[in-house]
A and B are shown apart, each in its own frame.
Chain A
Amino acid sequence: MSLIIGLSILLGCQFLGEIVSRTFALPVPGPVLGMLILLIALMIRGGIPKSLRTMGEGLLKYLTLLFVPAGVGLIQHFGLISREIWILIITLIVSTSLTILVTSQTLQRVARRDVSSRKHNT
């Protein structure tokens, strides 16, 4: 029964998320709003029901399997991919490297300032 309750909680939140997303014509996907709704509910409740943890962590454990059907959809875009293959490769490599570089440098700087200001306070 606990798996059914867990899945119902997840589907219920997704359902609410879809309703909010459609009603207000938001650019945010329904499941993301569902995630936010669940997060707020958990904060208010102050804990994760066991049924939800069992189902949710089970799903997250096999999350990579769930990408496969969509990934196979690349078969429909061979034309586009072969036409723009170099654009895709260059963009992915440069943009991903930049993102890691900028994020780690920012964190390094902010964290250092955070630590030193905390030392001054005490």
Chain B
Amino acid sequence: MAAYKLTINKKIYNIEADPKMPLLWAIRDLANLTGTKYGCGIAQCGACTVHLNGNPVRACSIPVSAAVNQQITTIEGLPEDNTHPVQQAWIQEQVPQCGYCQSGQIMAATALLKKNPNPTDKDIDTAMQGVICRCGTYVRIRKAIKTAAAIMANPSSH
């Protein structure tokens, strides 16, 4: 066990953990931020997607020791009142069904739109390929990312 200082959503969390503990479990069970989900534990499903310094990563496959001194952003780092353009688009297009994978989907989508404000279908497929939705909401995810891009381009129109 070792002591770590994690910066999650701009807040400092002092935790004690096994250095090999994946960041996912530190976020969920030690920082008590349960919006980030466990789906596979081997970086295959993307349910645990969070941002590390703005880049989408799989929290299940990064040891907590490697996340120290970095900016970690989870779904809870987005506005609780759902005012982020991606959240607005997700609501407008009624994307979620069970909702379990949607934190990962939304974090992957926000990272994509930050780098590429006007993604094509192909860009969307490439960026979102790593996040599984067993409910099959993919058609709406594609649509919502375009809606989010439009909201970001012209915030006053929405």
The yes or no verdict on A and B being binding partners is: no
